[in-house]
Amino acid sequence: MGRKTMKNKILVRALVLGLLSLVSTTLFGQVENVDNTRTFAYSAKYVCKDAGVPATDAGRAFTPAVYRTVVNLHNLHARPVTIVIRAVEAHQIKNPVPGASGRIEKTLAPGQAVFLGCRMIQEILGANPDHPDKIDGFLTVASPRRLDAAAVYTAVNRSPIDPNDGVSIDVERLRPKILWRDGRVDEE
């Protein structure tokens, strides 16, 4: 009878541990990616421009307005997560410039949310953050775990014809690409 009691105790412990694991995963999100075989990559278009009255050339890409982008990131896990943020500036195709940029690493505490605005993007690019009014490109965030991520785009009219046209805002949820160590890329 001693063996049967021991087996029952082991079975009960295994069930309790399994339930605790299921409950913690349900409450706090996915378990950390321990094997490092994948990275979640979030990409956002950013526009930080003060587009004045358009010139006579038809090549202008922006109507007169002030454009701003803010990217919000939220660590929804019960553990800290370290992310890598890169920015690349877009240039006209007739004047291509290499796309390398700086990078920053940031560790987000459990439940922490942060935002990256035009000033921070300018700093990542290594340019003067006091003049974030002429940049346009892509921001990427790499994380070993899923994040809540959104981009907020605003534009304020600067039209000399009707200066009271208003403000525009758009919020876009960023869905990650899953980058596998073997080179595969999956869309979420």
| pTM of the predicted model as reported, rounded to 2 decimal places | 0.71
CATH number at residue 130: 2.60.290.11
pLDDT beyond 70 at 12: no
Q: Please tell me the total count of domains within the chain.
A: 2
> Do 83 and 1 lie in a common domain?
no
Beta strands 65-74 and 113-116, pairing class: antiparallel
Query: Partners of 167 in the beta sheet?
Result: 156
Domain co-membership, 7 together with 51: no
Top-confidence residue, 59 or 95: 95
- 73, 83 contact by CB (below 8 A): yes
Please check whether residues 27 and 105 belong to one and the same domain: no
Domain coverage including residue 68: 32-187
Same domain, 62 and 106: yes
> Is there a single domain that holds both residue 13 and residue 72?
no
Structure-model confidence comparison of residues 108 and 64, the more confident one: 108
Say if residue 90 is in the same domain as residue 172: yes
Q: How confident is the model at residue 151 (pLDDT cuts 50, 70, 90)?
A: very high
Three-state DSSP class for 123?
helix
Whether residues 11 and 22 share a domain: the answer is yes
DSSP reduced 3-state for 109: coil
Running DSSP on this structure, what letter comes out for residue 78? S
The model's pLDDT over 23-76, given as tens digits with 9 standing for 90+, comes to 333 333 333 444 568 999 999 999 988 876 555 444 456 777 888 999 999 999
Clarify whether residues 13 and 80 are in a common domain: no
Identify whether residues 42 and 12 lie together within a single domain: no
pLDDT in the model for residue 153: 94
Distance from the Cα of residue 186 to its chain's centroid: 17
In the chain, pLDDT over 90 holds for what percent of residues?
A: 37
Same domain, 101 and 20: no
Q: Is the domain of 25 the same as that of 71? A: no
> Same domain, yes or no, for 90 and 141?
yes
